[in-house]
Chain A
Amino acid sequence: MPHDRSRRPGELVFVILLLLASLWLFWQSVLISGFSGLSTPGVFPMLASGVMVISALWILRDTAKRAPDGGGISRFVEQITPLRQVVMLGLVALYVALMPWLGFVVASGVFLIATISFLWRRNFFLTVGISALALGVIYLIFRVAFQVVLPRGTLLQGLF
């Protein structure tokens, strides 16, 4: 086991969360068919979640042994969830949430322009041009050539 590095920011909390999730999943597995037999549908989920609980305990032991990171919440935000990540996550969440309403083409167009201008910060018209080009190519390849069904929005029903 390598002990040469200190904990990553938030690592201990994350591992504890994993352990709690594993315990909850184990409990859910027990609920499937209890301990009524050895070939019931619940046995394998119990085995799998049991492995999760044991390995999570093991990981917790290893993580606890490491030197704490010592940076607190600010270090966590800086390294694990910097603003760029959070904003991107928000944009992606917005994108998938609005897609059924706006439709694939409009939602993706807006998403591309928003994310590329956020991450790239160049000329706005260049961003729009690249977005339009990329979207056009995606549409041609997938909708026209591959015949993939793309989500259509309720807002512009039938149009996109």
Chain B
Amino acid sequence: MEILGFLTLSWFDPSLLFLTAAGTMAGIYVGAIPGLSVTMAASILISFTFKWDVNEALALIAGVYMGGVYGGSRTAILLNIPGAPSAIATAIDGYPMAKRGEAGEAIGLTTVMSVFGGFVGILALALFAPFISKFAIMFTSRDYLLLGMIGILLVGTLSGESFAKGAFAGALGVLIGMVGLDPMTAEGRFTFGTITLMGGIPYVVAMIGFFGVAEAFVQIHSLDLPVIRQKIDRIIPHFSDVKRYFWLALRASGIGTIIGALPGTGGDIAALLAYDDAKRTTKDPDVPFGQGAKEGLIAPEVANNAAVGGAFVPMLTLGIPGDAVTAVIIGALYIHGLKPGPLLLVETPHLFWFIVGNLALANIFLLIFGLTGIKVFTKIVECPKAILIPLIIILSSVGAYAIQNNPVDIYWMLLFGVIGYFLKTYGFQVGPIILGVILGPMMDSNYRRAMIGARGDIGTFLWDFASHPISLVLSIAFLLMLLSQTPVWAALKSLVSRETNLSDQ
């Protein structure tokens, strides 16, 4: 009964209801407008909302997240430009549908199916998080160190051009997170004797720089892309379609939730995997994949929204963000004095149930806003980038300044923006950097705790990783991931495939 009260807190409180609705609405536009990303919006929002009550801040951010993941699909369908990385797969079949004049139907179907996927993800969060959190209480410092490394490694390997570039970005982020006074001994690290650096570099500033400003500079390259207009007619999907693709949607939801829950992988990868799965399992689609198959439109959209609920699982139970957006949200929780981790559910269960209820509410708003206002929407998305880019820079500056009312933070933001521009241009991803900045201090303190626990003896320290069951499993997972990136793995794989080929003959 108590849980129900927390669960529906935002449903009956007018201001929370309004903030969730506003967040979802804003999220759809942010996700849809190419050049604005959910990560960018969430990091800027955090700097504005940190003085708010935590419930209000979370209501707004949850709405933006939910709406943003979905919003990318609209521009993918209408303009063939995925508004967000998670909508890349959507464009493959969505745009051909729009070219056939079925843009409205594609959007309607996407909306209903996204909401379906969203609910599956949220349900999984409500059911599994308490269970995982009970299990996670047994985790030691060692395990957290491993989880952090696995998270950064996953983001690094899956998103970038090469593994080395991902590793470099992750390590750079960890190092940025180290700047300032060491929380254990109060010794300065990378402060160069200045007072300015003693407090460290606020990670929100790093986020805004790498995601907001850097992206704005990258966008200047694509200023002159022509705008394409589409005809919109029927929006509410046929019920027969919803019924027909139910099982496909259910399977895509499962993929989305699981991929979302893996630390380091989020909606973009979930969507691509679900698309691939749909392509492989659909025997005879009405329209071939790549030419406007409804299956190819539904699967990625269901999966990326299911990944939202999934991504909250490791974030709330282990304190390990599932992807870049959850890394930003974890930052929001820290700012409000909360410690995401196994104790979050024990110490502040109301907050957990509030988040679950709030995500569900945002999902309902998604259905409402998703099926309405599409005509107005097409006008706004056509906003020229020449106006958008200066606005992103102004919003980023306000965000960077708002955290500590310190102009120095704006200079940091610009510096990170310029570095980020070059890194992006040369095929580095900025996601691992942000993950590193957030997880770095956590990994550092856990490493040292584990080392002190081993009495500073390297042999004992390493043996501990092999002699405790949880640590052993995580260590093996970590080593396998590392191994899979080396030439040894490729050699092994070709050996195995050759053998299986031989045995087939």
Contact = CB atoms under 8 A, between A and B. Distances in A.
Contact of A45 (B178, B386, B394, B427): B178
Contact of A52 (B161, B175, B447): B175
A44 B414 contact: no
A124 interface: no
B168 A39 contact: no
B477 interface: no
Contacts of A134: 387, 391
B222 to A, nearest CB: 11
A119 B384 CA distance: 10
Contact of B175 (A1, A40, A45, A115): A45
Contacts of B386: 116, 119-120
Dominant SS among interface residues on chain B: helix
Interface string B387-416: 101110111011001100101001101100
Contact of B393 (A37, A41, A45, A92): A92
Given A42-B189, A45-B178, A142 B184 contact: no
A116 B390 CA distance: 7
A108 B185 contact: no
Interface residues of A, number: 62
A125 to B, nearest CB: 15
B174 A44 contact: yes
Contacts of A112: 390-391, 394
Interface string B321-355: 00000000000000000000000000000000000
Interface string A97-110: 00110001000100
Interface string B173-187: 011001000101101
Contacts of A28: 190
Given A39-B448, A41-B184, A104-B398, A48 B178 contact: yes
A116 B387 contact: yes
A148 interface: yes
A84 B220 contact: yes
A118 to B, nearest CB: 8
- Which of B187, B217, B386, B414 has the most chain A CB within a 10 Å cutoff? B386
A146 B45 CA distance: 10
Given A84-B220, A108-B394, A52 B171 contact: yes
B458 interface: yes
Most A CB contacts (10 A, CB to CB) among B394, B410, B443 go to: B394
A132 interface: no
Interface in A42-89: 42-45, 48-49, 51-52, 55-56, 58-59, 62, 80, 82, 84-85, 88-89
B451 interface: yes
B196 interface: no
Contact of A89 (B178, B418, B426, B451): B418
Contacts of A130: 387
A25 B220 CA distance: 31
B452 A52 contact: no
A123 interface: no
The 4 A-B residue pairs with the shortest CB-CB distance, nearest first, are A119-B386, A120-B386, A58-B164, A51-B171
Given A32-B189, A52-B168, A84-B223, 11 more contacts: A43-B448, A48-B436, A48-B440, A55-B171, A62-B164, A88-B220, A92-B414, A93-B414, A96-B410, A148-B48, A151-B405
Interface of B: 48-49, 51, 161-162, 164-165, 167-168, 170-172, 174-175, 178, 182, 184-185, 187, 189-190, 213, 217, 220-221, 223, 384-387, 389-391, 393-395, 397-398, 401-402, 405, 407, 410-411, 413-414, 417-418, 421-422, 425-427, 436, 440, 443-444, 447-448, 451-452, 456, 458, 461
